[in-house]
Structure 1
């Protein structure tokens, strides 16, 4: 360990789009965390909001044989959807996909 404090990622403010920074951490477990963010928009937006972070799947199994939580195992590329043919355009609206019998 480097001894440096944990740095959480900055996110965009959902109100104004400015940068928001983590101020504190709330509810925590091994797979879930709530992070409290504060907008730093120079125009004084001041929005405060909570972001949830959750471990949802495993892309590479642990070397330890007895995990405390079992997450579903997926391939990294399929989980990230990096090379999917449907990434070229905007997402389709729900319920508009053609159904073939």
Structure 2
């Protein structure tokens, strides 16, 4: 370890679209972490929100024979291309059994 502080990626503020940066860490476990982000919009948006990080799958098996948690295994290509061809547009309207007259 070099002793450098780990920098988390910025995300866009859901309120104004400006850049938001991680301020503090909330709940955490081996597979889950909450990060508190604050908007740094120069127009003083001031929005603070929580982002959840969750380990969802493995792309390379662990070198340890007994992992503490077992995640589903996928290949790197599947993980990188997990968007289906039908994900390019808005979601379809749900089918309704009610007929409007």
Q: Flag whether TM exceeds 0.5 (same fold).
A: yes
Gaps of 5+ in 1: 97-101
- Stretches of structure 2 lacking an aligned partner (at least 5 in a row): 96-101
User: Deviation at 1:95?
Assistant: 4.8
| Matching of residue 64 in structure 1 with residue 64 in structure 2 | yes
CA RMSD of aligned residues (A): 2.0
CA distance in 2, matches of 1:18, 1:37: 12
Q: How many residues align?
A: 95
Matched residue, 1:90: 89
Normalised to the residue count of structure 1, the TM-score between the two structures is 0.83
SS at match of 2:36: strand
Structure 1 pair 16–94 and aligned structure 2 pair: CA distance change class (3 A): same
- Name the counterpart of 2:98: none
Please give the alpha-carbon distance, in whole angstroms, between the structure 2 residues aligned to 1:77 and 1:28: 29
Output one character per residue of 1:4-30: Cα deviation in whole Å (capped at 9) or x when no partner: 112111100000000000000000000
How far did 1:87 drift? 7.2
- Show the counterpart of 1:74: 74
TM-score (norm 2): 0.83
